[in-house]
Amino acid sequence: MKNLKKMILCMLVAALVGSMLLTGCGKKGGNTDSTGENASQANVEENSSQNEENKSGMSEEELLRRQQLEVIPDDAVYKDASKSVEERVADLMSYMTLKEKAAQMVMAERNTASGGAGPADLQSYPLGSILSGGGSAPASGNTSQDWAKMIDQYQQVATEKTRLGIPILYGIDAVHGNSNLFGVTIFPHNVGLGATGDYELVEKIGAATAKDVRAIGANWIFAPTLGNPQYVTWGRSYECFSEDAKEVAPYGAAYVRGMQGVLGSDEFLSQSKALATAKHYIGEGYTMNGMNQGNVNMSDEEFDELLKSGVIEPFKQAVENGAKTVMISYNSVNGLKCHGNKHLITDILRGELGFDGIVIGDYNAIQQITVPGGKFEDQLLTAIDAGLDVTMEPFMWREITDDIVDFVENGKLSQERLDDSVRRILTAKFELGLFENPYSNADYIKETGSDESRELARQAVRESLVLLKNDKVAADKNVFDVLKNAENIFVAGKGANDIGTQCGGWTISWQGQTGKCTIGTTILDGIKEVTGKDAVYSRDGKDMPENTEIAIVAVSEIPYAESNGDRTYKSLQFMNSEWKVVEAIKEQNPDVPVLVILITGRTLVMDKYIDNADAIVCAWLPGTECEGIADVLFGDYDFTGKLNYTWFKTGDDFKDRKEDGVLFEKGFGLKKAD
């Protein structure tokens, strides 16, 4: 008996020393001064009191023994796939040290050159997740194989070279297809999908995207965006389905179902599925004048009323459909950044909506929270206290892990609160089956960019087209009658022969780019392919052949993302050079009918130009499969798309949403025969 007591005492001392080693003796590792010792001491006391009431039913000694094990036995419950997720999570948590738990809350960038975490770093900091921010492709190249190799390296270290073998979550902005990668199918941006009214289609796109994501070993998609822009001056308008939150909701829910599988079904979070992210929570479409990351000028009470009036609906439906993660928005409400807003995150999202998944912060957004003294650790604590589970401060992974350890050791953050976050993160990992199969999937890679997914995108392009204008070009003819029999077609405008412009932002790179950035079919190629005719093309509309029967002109926005896309009301228009192409054609031959195709992420001011066009089709940002445009122009398909945004005449009309300044009502969309 005496010996047993002695043994337990020895184990406790060993556990204490071990725990100090594993936690790096307090903040910013290697700090061995008295503060560090006190902190560790506090940790033991804190842990003791919490362990007495620990939910695992295990003794304090057993927990400490488990945290000290260098090698975890193969028969540990959490390694047994036949056990329930709850049992596995609880068991795994019983082995975890404070630092191992803290690290689960931290997401780092893959880009080590900028200070991100490489695979080997996971051995000293067993982080919960890694991301590729927009355009952050592997150094070796941008094919699916390059990505798979890179992500597998992280998983190999995480699962084979760390004490607990916890796989990582790997997050990526697959916002319209797995759009960082070369050669994948790029679907229309959400602004286009929101015109289709086809939720089944959107669900299929979500599923195709998730498969391309799992192909490369990533498993967390930062989409769909559920904002409802009130001011299209906002550079992220194209990421959103509609200006009306109630109409955003079913699209978002469909996307979530597609990406994760239907909640409660066998396919939910199965091999070809990934975590979806309902983003950005909340109010981003209401910032003053559409300023990205701006403030919603309302009192807290007014904002709560706004949420109740329908703005919460997309998030509510996403949660009901099982969305596993929600990303907090950069914007503020009544001067307070959402990342620090406990009422919005804990009371409403967790409380009222009953969300029990992962709340993730946006890229470097914690650093924007205002705190007295402006110290990062106070910003971090504020965000966690507000309800954040995973931080996306991509280059501060060491500091954040150490800070969280420090918070718990010093009683600033309760062990229980930390455990809540860790439980949610681990639950997602078990549900995704990552402990059994963390790696990329070569079979899925073979299907990436397949005919089937390109066909789906082509359908989406067809359905998203909105016919805005359709004048008679002769007594008994409109443009579509001419197109049907035309032999001599003239195509003009930069965007008509430019994959990058068609795809817009968040394609290959964060901002997107013009030019041949990936594989796909341009509008021009689509016309040639569908008609079998050899259309003549000119970028600026000059040198139009005399025998031209009809001109098809692309008028385009150039790609942008986030704040770079913000515009003033005065600059809310296409570049003049774009419409000059139409003028050039009319100058050469005013009798040639002109059909304008708008390649745009939003409803830009164009009222002074529309008289120059005989027909106008809004194609939004259609992506890589523009045969879909030719299908409708030349084929038997008719237009079915309807505006999900109000189109105003002038910048001032947009600003004040003036009723008498409406050019096209929301819901507007013509047919070929109209």
Residues labelled as active-site residues: 362, 562
How far, in whole angstroms, is CA 395 from its chain's centroid? 19
Which burial class, exposed, middle or buried, applies to 522 when counting CB atoms under 10 A from its CB (0-12, 13-18, 19+)? buried
Whole-angstrom distance, CA of residue 116 vs CA of residue 396: 8
223-251 burial, b if ≥16 CB within 10 A, otherwise e?
bbbbbbbbbbbbbbbbbbbbbbbebbbbb
Nearer to ligand BGC among residue 231 and residue 579 (C-beta): 231
Residue 133 binds ligand BGC, judged by CB under 6 A: yes
Which of 332, 407, 333, 415 lies closest to 375, judged by CA?
407
Residue 222 binds ligand BGC (CB under 6 A): yes
When binding is defined by CB under 6 A, the residue of 231, 238, 363, 664 that contacts ligand BGC is 363
Angle formed at CA 222 by CA 220 and CA 227, multiple of 5 degrees: 150
> How far is Cα 335 from Cα 342, in angstroms, rounded to an integer?
14
Instruction: Rank residues 234 and 490 by Cβ distance to ligand BGC and give the closer one.
Output: 234
Distance in Å, CB of 562 to ligand BGC, minimum: 6
Closest chain position to ligand BGC (CB): 222
* CB-CB contact of 58 with 94 (8 Å): yes
Contact 163, 70 (CB under 8 A): yes
- Which residues lie below 8 Å from residue 501, measured CB to CB, with a gap of 6+? 494, 495, 514, 554, 556, 557, 558, 559, 599
Smallest separation (angstroms) from ligand BGC to the CB of 449: 22
Q: Shortest distance, CB of residue 244 to ligand BGC, whole angstroms?
A: 21
CB of 239 to ligand BGC, least distance (A): 8
Amino acid letter, 399: E
For ligand BGC, which is the closer residue by CB, 99 or 339?
339
By CB under 6 A, residue 101 contacts ligand BGC: no
Closest approach of Cβ 295 to ligand BGC, in Å? 16
> Using CB under 6 A, which of 134, 167, 314, 628 touches ligand BGC?
134
Indicate the DSSP class of residue 130: E
Q: Does 362 bind ligand BGC (CB under 6 A)?
A: yes
Question: Nearest Cα to 559, choosing from 602, 505, 516?
Answer: 505
Tell me how crowded residue 594 is: count the other CB atoms within 10 A of its CB: 25
> With contact defined as beta carbons under 8 Å apart, do 221 and 267 qualify?
no
Cα separation, 235 vs 293, in Å, equals 10
Which residue, 279 or 649, has its beta carbon nearer to ligand BGC?
279
Helix axes 34-52, 415-431, angle to 10 degrees: 70
Closer to ligand BGC at the Cβ: 360 or 432? 360
Minimum distance of ligand BGC from residue 508's CB (angstroms):
14
Backbone angles phi, psi at 510, to 5 degrees: -55, -50
- Quote the least distance from Cβ 518 to ligand BGC, whole Å: 19
Number of residues that bind ligand BGC (CB under 6 A): 8
Q: How many residues does the chain have?
A: 674
Site for ligand BGC contains 651 (CB under 6 A): no
Angle at the Cα of 204 from the Cα atoms of 191 and 198, rounded to 5 degrees: 50
Handedness of CA 367, 368, 372, 378 (dihedral sign): negative
Which of 78/281 has CB closer to ligand BGC? 281
| Cβ at position 99, least distance to ligand BGC in Å | 26
Structure tokens of 511?
A: 């901002």
Interface mask (CB under 6 A) for ligand BGC, residues 265-294, using x and -?
--------------x---------------
Using the minimum distance from each CB to ligand BGC, give the nearer residue, 27 or 567.
Answer: 567
Does position 566 interact with ligand BGC (CB under 6 A)? The reply is: no
Least distance from ligand BGC to the Cβ atom of residue 115, Å: 16
Strand order in the sheet with 332-333: 295-296, 332-333, 336-337
Nearer to ligand BGC, 212 or 498 (CB): 212
User: Which is nearer to ligand BGC, 1 or 113 (by Cβ)?
Assistant: 113
Rounded distance between C-alpha atoms, residue 366 and residue 362, angstroms: 8
227 binding ligand BGC? (CB under 6 A): no
Residue from the set 173, 402, 463, 631 that interacts with ligand BGC by CB under 6 A: 173
Residues forming the site for ligand BGC (CB under 6 A): 133-134, 173, 222, 279, 362-363, 562
